[in-house]
């Protein structure tokens, strides 16, 4: 049983334990994983540090790329998630597990790593320049950084309630539900207070060179939904720090309002697509 919020969300909160939703998400995650690893220019024998490893999406796949002579360091703030990675890896001689936040990797010595990877980690880090400084510090000269981040500020203010669904008819209720998520002003929220230009600035400020950015943006692009079942979807949360949709609705609406909103959401989900506005970016850099 998961006991910390990071492990609970990764194991249950993002897909409500529904196998269909899990498989849908796994296909998306595999693309992000490969995007990070393909850009990292990994060589056999490399030492790779996966910061914010979570369930080991990148770190476990990196074991094949570094080969028998290489090593993967799994780093995360969650001891539970590290335990899961340890069990999944099953290769103690080629793995190391470090419990640490992205902006304080002090257990890892200076200049001992060939590659640093992250995926959707910096959105949870308040001091992002400190994280880039740590990435730079642990890398050897010639070491590579390869990261992926969503750019949540793209498109301006938005409601977190199943972004992409048409909520025009229930905009007043959706706005009430949104207050359950708006606990921090956008300019102070680590998920919202940066874009791709900031990532480049922080990486350069930390001393990285050969910075390259692959940026992808979509505006009102149709996407399939992982499920059309509202009873499943309402038990998911948009991120580890947020309540589930069901919890947010219960905390902000009257019983009558909840019924009205959920009736609308059931019908909206039945279309099986949403028009999504989003931006994502891959950033690679080298320590000179």
Instruction: Give the domain CATH number at 192.
Output: 3.40.50.150
Extract the runs of DSSP E, i.e. beta strands, from 209-286. Answer: 209-224, 273-286
Give the pLDDT band (50/70/90) at residue 210: very high
**Cα 173-194-145 angle, rounded to 5 deg:** 130
Q: pLDDT of 83-99, one tens digit each?
A: 999 999 988 889 999 99
> How many structural domains comprise the chain?
1
- Say if residues 129 and 205 touch (Cβ distance below 8 Å): yes
Return the pLDDT at 1: 46
- Say if residues 247 and 286 touch (Cβ distance below 8 Å): no
Q: Which alpha helices (DSSP H) does 192-244 contain, by range?
A: 196-206, 230-233
DSSP three-state, residue 102? coil
Distances in Å between the alpha carbon of 25 and those of 97, 132, 224, 281? 25, 28, 11, 18
User: Domain containing 227: what range?
Assistant: 5-286
Q: Which residue has the higher pLDDT, 190 or 142?
A: 142
For residues 45-69, average pLDDT: 97
pTM of the entire predicted model:
0.94
pLDDT at 9 over 70: yes
Return the pLDDT at 92: 81
CA 106, 114, 285, 214 dihedral sign is negative
Return the pLDDT at 216: 97
Q: pLDDT of 241-268, one tens digit each?
A: 899 999 999 999 999 999 999 999 999 8
């Amino acid at each position: 049983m998961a006991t910390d919020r990071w492990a609970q969300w990764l194991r249950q909160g993002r897909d409500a334990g529904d196998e269909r939703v899990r498989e849908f998400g796994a296909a998306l995650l595999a693309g992000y994983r490969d995007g990070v690893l393909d850009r990292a220019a990994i060589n056999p024998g490399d030492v790779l540090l996966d910061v914010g490893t979570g369930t080991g999406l990148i770190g476990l796949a990196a074991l094949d790329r570094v080969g028998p002579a290489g090593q993967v360091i799994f780093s995360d703030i969650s001891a539970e998630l590290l335990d899961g990675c340890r069990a999944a890896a099953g290769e103690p001689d080629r793995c190391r597990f470090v419990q640490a936040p992205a902006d304080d990797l002090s257990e890892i010595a200076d200049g001992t790593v060939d590659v640093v990877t992250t995926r959707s980690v910096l959105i949870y880090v308040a001091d992002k320049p400190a994280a880039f400084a740590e990435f730079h510090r642990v890398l050897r000269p010639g070491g590579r950084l390869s990261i992926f981040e969503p750019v949540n500020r793209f498109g301006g203010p938005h409601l977190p309630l199943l972004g992409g669904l048409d909520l025009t008819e229930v905009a007043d209720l959706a706005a009430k539900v949104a207050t359950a998520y708006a606990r921090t002003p956008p300019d102070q929220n680590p998920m919202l207070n940066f874009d791709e230009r900031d990532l480049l600035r922080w990486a350069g400020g930390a001393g990285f060179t050969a910075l390259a950015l692959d940026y992808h943006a979509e505006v009102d692009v149709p996407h399939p939904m992982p499920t059309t079942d509202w009873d499943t979807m309402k038990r998911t949360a948009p991120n580890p720090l947020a309540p589930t949709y069901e919890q947010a609705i219960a905390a902000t609406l009257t019983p009558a309002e909840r019924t009205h909103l959920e009736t609308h959401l059931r019908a909206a989900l039945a279309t099986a697509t949403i028009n999504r506005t989003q931006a994502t970016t891959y950033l690679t850099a080298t320590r000179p």
